[in-house]
Amino acid sequence: MSKYHKAAWNDEARQAAREEIMKNKPWLKSTGAKTAAGKAKSKMNALKISPEFHSLIKEMNSLMRQQKEIFNAISNTTSVTIE
């Protein structure tokens, strides 16, 4: 086995790790982000695109919503008769 690869866990090592984890219960100490900056940063953890591109998409969606509102306002004030 090369020095870069670890051996697979045996049953004793796996059980010892399980017992240590159950003793420490790290999931009870995990609290997540507390500050607004930390929450903003953690919100981007699952993002698969760059933050800059994400901002562009949000801006584009906002513009499309505005366009839809304008279109609806225009179509509600005018009536078109097609013959």
DSSP string, 29-82: H-----SHHHHHHHHTTT--S-HHHHHHHHHHHHHHHHHHHHHHHHHHH-----
The confidence score (pLDDT) of residue 16 equals 94
At 30-80, the pLDDT tens digits run: 788 889 999 988 888 877 778 788 889 999 999 999 999 999 888 887 665
Model-level pTM?
A: 0.39
Given a cut of 70, is residue 10 above it in pLDDT?
yes
The confidence score (pLDDT) of residue 36 equals 94
Q: Check residues 54 and 28 and name the one with the higher pLDDT.
A: 28
The confidence score (pLDDT) of residue 69 equals 93
